[in-house]
Structure 1
């Protein structure tokens, strides 16, 4: 009996390795936050007649926000049993906690939605995704893989069929602005926007949380899992982008879409590389063959999910390297990633202060971005080193604990 008791701890993973892997998840969140800030503050198109994409647009557009959403699914998996999902009373308690946390996120998003700012604020859509994913939290990896693959394939087709019907309504079930408290008085346009016609359509974006649940249910403490995520994610992302490019450029897709596109201010060859938001994707089934950022097609969802998986794998590998050299290499990123709700909200509020105003004398767009990024990194590092939660993270945690009603919460 004694020999068994002493043998068991020797087979458990070293605490430093487990901690390093969780640091890798937070670092990926920090990277997503900095990428979203880049698309907000730096130009994604050159200021010329052809709207030539910038490297910022080509690198981060669509990918940073998708990474943010995939990581939400990873976090939910880690807080609901990791490899083995919770069951019964514990699972129901976890669902209540997540639902109340989603209410906090939605309240923050609706409040920010009242600001005058030229940004698409993700928080209300993000909160809705937390609620939509609740039925899937008790599923194991195989079932989640099937749901994720099916959602990636089917939801864009259904959305393509439903969007014209919603937009043809009188008034159209579309907001054209960030959701705010006032929009609660017109629930049908609000729900139409959140699910299908808005910037982050939850109907298709649920795929990201399902992919994140798959990742979070894997044995992240095993050495080969980050390598698998990095290699498989890269392969899926490259294949999806290659198919989308071939469909547009070699198989006649772009020519067909140019015949139906009625947006002369948005050259199709440019927006296919950076951002299809704002363009009515209707009138041709070729829209579904695109892998363009923010098109929410099957190829776009597959590409950005693959990129997200690869980034998570790379960050987990860096966490393992940090353990090996006994140096917290990820501290700048994981600090920001540990309090993304607070830092993202503060970022949006600060940007709103410059809406339709010139930058202060001597400031450039690059300088403004680096100021936001450096502030996020420094503040995040201070909070992590002091072992504090961010203010809005504290509210979300309190709501989560209240919903759980005494059941064990996330570690």
Structure 2
């Protein structure tokens, strides 16, 4: 949720143009923020009884959150050596900085989790992901490719074996709400929810950070890599989605899932297009054949990870164009993208004020979204122009510096 490179975006000496790498990465992060906000404030399903997927549900559900996670991996790669990973004491110092940054994000997430808000807050999961990825920060590109592919293929299968055992416990090891400080008193239940039974299962989501590390170890400022990300990411996402649709509609998957007692009464056709929230995905291996957002399956990880790679490639290309024409048209996204921890937290806090409360007279969901989105853009652009970090970004950056500090050797 925070920029791992340098924030605010730095300028290239001599011409004042914003670095294409930083502006492109931050712009992608800003797009992810606005996309996630849209799924919080705008309907993802139409009214009953049809429950038709909306444009927001079809386009942004699952993909925006996955883009955040992939960008986290990219940021970690950029802060730990870019194409050449750090090693030795430098690597351990970098890991200490990441761990301290994760601590700040976790505290913010637990605080937001105490609010009465109809938003699945990602920050605690995000912080745990940072800690889980620490052992991989020193790996080179080839090893990272193997690990990311293996995790995408194997983690959903292992999760499908573990999840039923946790849900069958008495009481079930699932929170049913955002993690908050009270849950620290039941660590077993909290960890089970974070890793397997919750909205953002960390065990499978490690895949996104590994994919991000792979991308971040590439030469992101070169046109070849940017085009490769766009083309290959789009191809992987398309093939994964097509296979998922065939599995459900042509090969009998949806019929098998609709026959399960746990899916009766749910609009499964629409949910397979938008997300599977509310369904426990047990009692059938067919769940592993879906490419539905938030399914946590191999096809879902490939599709959303591919979309994320394609989006990153596109924004890196736009960043290169902005640098060449010396017009930073990406600032409307890179500005808020450089301070997403602050803006996301403020968004959740504002939404909590309207939870279970009627909107002010004359307001609509669309009006609420555009007001918050434009406010996020305006605030982000102002901070970028002033070359200042966001408040929470400053705290996370300071904690990271403290965590990575190593006293100079004496003698």
Please state which band the TM-score falls in when normalised by the shorter chain: over 0.9
Aligned counterparts of 2:275 and 2:264: Cα–Cα separation in 1: 15
Matched position secondary structure for 1:221: coil
- The residue aligned with 1:62 is 62
Is 1:13–1:221's contact at 8 Å kept on the other side of the alignment?
no
1:151-192 alpha-carbon deviations (Å, 9 max, x no partner)? 000000000000000111122111000000000001111000
1:48-87 alpha-carbon deviations (Å, 9 max, x no partner)? 2021100100000000000000000000000000000000
Is 2:100–2:399's contact at 8 Å kept on the other side of the alignment?
yes
Aligned counterparts of 1:59 and 1:261: Cα–Cα separation in 2: 29
Q: 1:335 to 1:320 in 2, by over 3 A?
A: same
- The residue aligned with 1:378 is 378
- The residue aligned with 2:255 is 255
Indicate the larger mover: 286-295 or 259-268: 259-268
Matched position secondary structure for 2:50: coil
Q: How far 1:122 moved relative to its partner?
A: 0.2
- The residue aligned with 1:109 is 109
Aligned counterparts of 2:407 and 2:150: Cα–Cα separation in 1: 33
Is 2:28–2:315's contact at 8 Å kept on the other side of the alignment?
yes
- The residue aligned with 1:31 is 31
- The residue aligned with 1:291 is 291
Q: How far 1:218 moved relative to its partner?
A: 0.2
Q: CA RMSD in A?
A: 1.6
Q: 1:246 to 1:407 in 2, by over 3 A?
A: farther
Q: 1:145 to 1:17 in 2, by over 3 A?
A: farther
Q: How far 1:14 moved relative to its partner?
A: 9.2
Mapping of residues 46-195 of structure 1, within 5 Å: 46-195=46-195
- The residue aligned with 1:4 is none
- The residue aligned with 1:392 is 392
Aligned counterparts of 1:171 and 1:308: Cα–Cα separation in 2: 37
Q: How far 1:21 moved relative to its partner?
A: 1.9
Matched position secondary structure for 1:294: coil
Is 2:237–2:306's contact at 8 Å kept on the other side of the alignment?
yes
1:185-228 alpha-carbon deviations (Å, 9 max, x no partner)? 01111000000000000000000000000000001121211100
1:352 matches 2:341: no
User: TM-score of the superposition, structure 1-length normalised?
Assistant: 0.95
Is 2:17–2:326's contact at 8 Å kept on the other side of the alignment?
no
Q: 1:86 to 1:254 in 2, by over 3 A?
A: same
Q: How far 1:406 moved relative to its partner?
A: 4.7
Q: How far 1:22 moved relative to its partner?
A: 1.3
Q: 1:76 to 1:49 in 2, by over 3 A?
A: same
1:235-291 alpha-carbon deviations (Å, 9 max, x no partner)? 000000000000000000001111114244421101000010220101110000000
Aligned counterparts of 1:330 and 1:78: Cα–Cα separation in 2: 20
- The residue aligned with 2:213 is 213
- The residue aligned with 1:242 is 242
Q: 1:86 to 1:269 in 2, by over 3 A?
A: same
Q: How far 1:139 moved relative to its partner?
A: 0.5
User: TM-score of the superposition, structure 2-length normalised?
Assistant: 0.95
Is 1:18–1:221's contact at 8 Å kept on the other side of the alignment?
no
Aligned counterparts of 2:155 and 2:73: Cα–Cα separation in 1: 18
- The residue aligned with 2:366 is 366
Matched position secondary structure for 2:375: helix
Is 2:159–2:204's contact at 8 Å kept on the other side of the alignment?
yes
Aligned counterparts of 2:316 and 2:275: Cα–Cα separation in 1: 29
Q: 1:124 to 1:73 in 2, by over 3 A?
A: same
Q: 1:18 to 1:141 in 2, by over 3 A?
A: farther
- The residue aligned with 1:199 is 199
Q: How far 1:388 moved relative to its partner?
A: 0.6
Is 1:274–1:293's contact at 8 Å kept on the other side of the alignment?
yes
Mapping of residues 296-315 of structure 1, within 5 Å: 296-315=296-315
Is 2:98–2:131's contact at 8 Å kept on the other side of the alignment?
yes
Matched position secondary structure for 2:262: coil
Matched position secondary structure for 2:179: coil
